[in-house]
Structure 1
Amino acid sequence: MRVHPCPRNHPQEIPAAVGFTLCVLCIKQVENHLRIIPALHQESLHHVSPAPRRTNPTKVSGSRKRDHLDIAVLDVRHNILVILESWSGIVVEKLGSIAPHRSVPQLARFLTANLEWITAQPPAGDFADEIETIVTELRHTIDPDPDGLNGLTRQCVVDGCAGTITAAPHKAENTGRSNIRCSSGHAWELREWLTLRHLIERQRKSVDA
């Protein structure tokens, strides 16, 4: 059986596990991500409400003033449910499984139970990327890192665009949802952040080479 390289964005080419589309490390990573998503999703609920919530009175890093309903957090939570439901729907359609209840814990558990089949399919790389994006967004929602997402400024990845991307989320006027924009107006949804960052890093490496 011919072994193909893992389609994920590795620094070096890594062969996929025999019979799978992803390498062993990526399969393990996506499994771990699926197992922690329900807890992170539950924790993010506390960041929707304007009520102050401080589990550690001495911690001030990453704290935010909440005097209104955080629509951006609601968007993230909704998008996560949509993504998990979409992938679960593919499994149900292809394997004839019983659809899980429409909740993040049930959907994540269902995808974990069918992970062996999913990671052997051609779109497994997209699945792993989207699951990793979910975890990244949830962690950023729970404890924003000013030196991570908001601190990155790069040239736009769109061919011929001279604008710059400042990866701080903005509210889109037409939808009210948060997105990432370049100075010339190109925009990406938050769920596309991981793919966008890969493009940014690839562009940076080609310039440095």
Structure 2
Amino acid sequence: MKVHPCPRNHVQEIPAAAGSALCVRCIGQAEHNLRILPVLHQESLHHLSPTPRRTNPTKVSGSRKRDHLDISVLDARHNILAILESWSGIVVEKLGRVSPDRSVPQLARFLTVNLEWITAQPPAADFADEIESIAAELRRTIDPDPSELSTLTRKCVVNDCAGTITAEPQRGGGKARSSITCSSGHSWEMREWLALRQLIERQRKSVSA
């Protein structure tokens, strides 16, 4: 059987897994994103109407209570439901499955169950990209602190790299440590986090400009 490369623009050519259009790493990342989406979706509820922390309780001049809804959170929550529903509809149509309930947990679970079939189809790369995109969008609305790096995902800052940066806790030498890694193989030490985050924010601003 002819081996073809994973179509997701890795730094180096990586062969697709047997019977799949994607490599093992991309399949695993897609599964991880599907499993974390319901958690992120639920967490985003707490950010619909954000209230800033009072750093100076005695200062009231110029302060303003934010009691409005955050439209970006509403958009992110709408996007995740629409995309999961769209891909689930394809599975239902092609495989004759029973449609899942229209909720993020049910749709994500349905896609996870049928992930092997989805990743073997020609649009598998589009599926992985969209699932990764909506997970990243939800993370941006939540915007975790650096102390919560285990949930952080951002586009890699290395030129021409399509990977994502994820900070994940690791164990080594008898104590916990953390590293920042890119899904395509780039890595940074924790002491480089501040400079790295500045690069990420600069990249986001240039894209939205």
**AA aligned opposite 2:11:** P
**Count of matched residue positions in the alignment of Structure 1 and Structure 2:** 148
Return the alpha-carbon distance in structure 2 between the equivalents of residues 75 and 38 of structure 1.
16
Shift of the 82–32 alpha-carbon distance from structure 1 to 2, 3 Å rule, reads same
**Contact 1:46 1:53 (8 Å CA) reproduced:** no
* Aligned residue number for residue 99 of structure 2: 99
* Aligned residue number for residue 151 of structure 1: 202
* Aligned residue number for residue 39 of structure 1: 39
Match of 2:76, SS? helix
Q: Which runs of 5+ in 2 are unaligned?
A: 55-64, 146-196
CA offsets per residue over residues 172-197 of structure 1, 9 Å max, x none? xxxxxxxx3x4xxxxxxxxxxxxxxx
Match of 2:131, SS? helix
**AA aligned opposite 2:87:** W
1:152 is displaced (CA, Å) by 1.6
> Among the aligned pairs, what percent are the same residue?
73
* Aligned residue number for residue 88 of structure 2: 88
Match of 1:151, SS? helix
1:135 is displaced (CA, Å) by 1.2
1:66 is displaced (CA, Å) by 3.9
1:68 is displaced (CA, Å) by 1.7
Match of 1:72, SS? helix
In the TM superposition, 1:1-209 aligns within 5 A as 1-51=1-51, 66-143=66-143, 147=198, 150-152=201-203, 166-167=206-207, 180=208, 182=209
Return the alpha-carbon distance in structure 1 between the equivalents of residues 68 and 115 of structure 2.
39
1:148 is displaced (CA, Å) by 6.1
Shift of the 42–115 alpha-carbon distance from structure 1 to 2, 3 Å rule, reads same
Shift of the 43–148 alpha-carbon distance from structure 1 to 2, 3 Å rule, reads farther
Higher-Rg structure is 2
**AA aligned opposite 1:47:** H
Return the alpha-carbon distance in structure 2 between the equivalents of residues 18 and 115 of structure 1.
14
CA offsets per residue over residues 37-84 of structure 1, 9 Å max, x none? 000110011100245689xxxxxxxxxx84421011100110110000
* Aligned residue number for residue 204 of structure 1: none
1:144 is displaced (CA, Å) by 6.1
Return the alpha-carbon distance in structure 1 between the equivalents of residues 200 and 83 of structure 2.
21
Aligned CA-pair RMSD: 2.3
